[in-house]
Amino acid sequence: MTNQSPILFNVPYERAGFRVDQIVAEFCPQYSRSQLQKWIKSGNVLINGKPRKCKDKLTGEEKISVQPILVERTDSLPENIDLDIVYEDDELIVINKPAGLVVHPGAGNTHGTLMNGLLAHNKNQANLPRAGIVHRLDKDTTGLMMVAKTLETHYSLVEQLQQHEVKREYLALVSSEVISGATIEANIARNPRNRKKMTVCDNSVGKYAITHYRIEQKMPNFTLLRVHLETGRTHQIRVHLSSRNMPIVGDRTYAGRLKVPAGLDEETRIKVQKFNRQALHATRLIITHPQSEEKMSWEVPMPDDMQEMVNALQPLD
């Protein structure tokens, strides 16, 4: 168990009426909401010098002190998992995640996750929130992820994400002939009819989300898009593109049953039908290094299965 320096901040007046746990989560994004709630209940979070309940409402301008207490993880065990490490130094790790690798342990996925692999790769990851994982990719999405090795780096990278200073580019193969690039600006929320899915919603609800895309490669009936995220909402690219009739190939959640266009040869038709994951790849990542403050950039090509799909869809000369 290790104590960190307390986090101090004042509640903005415009946040009057918000719950204690909501405000603390907003100002301490480097920690999970459940962890922050435990600290509130244990008295490690003080409002104007006194403990309060999670559900208590704030009036604005209170002084809040959060005393982090980090306990080594015991719920996830180290496992020797082959990690494709693109870059590593004393502060961070950049990983090229393969399809099928779950990021965090959860229901039905208690072992064999990226978190288990990180705990085996570096035992000190056990002292960090979520073993240093700063952001996530869906199980079947491939590509670049950044992982912090120190608490200070974790905070810095999370803050860069919050301030939209991290540049993330994806390649997405969609079953639509896209005419030109554009920007999608639409709030995203849980689908009220299926809580496992997200949906585009009215601006009065959900979370603000913005996605830019441009054409990378055109094919008959399909387009390879280069997508740039400004925000990082759950399933954002998949939801935004499907809402504009540009479903990602293989996305069973948001694309529904894929309608294979006429005119494909038999081999290509079977290849498209059997592509059993969303054709989405995090290809480029740009951050400011938390210690050196220099811009750092990494780029990895599409995995073989996705590249083979793109090649197969090319028209014959």
The catalytic residues are: 138
Residue found under tokens 């639509």: 176
CA atoms within 13 A on the CB side of 202: 3
CA separation for the pair 188, 47 (Å, rounded)? 32
Q: Distance between CA 118 and CA 183 in Å, rounded?
A: 35
Distance CA 152, CA 28 (A): 12
Show the CA angle centred on residue 46, arms to residues 40 and 49, nearest 5°.
160
CA distance 239 to 54: 32
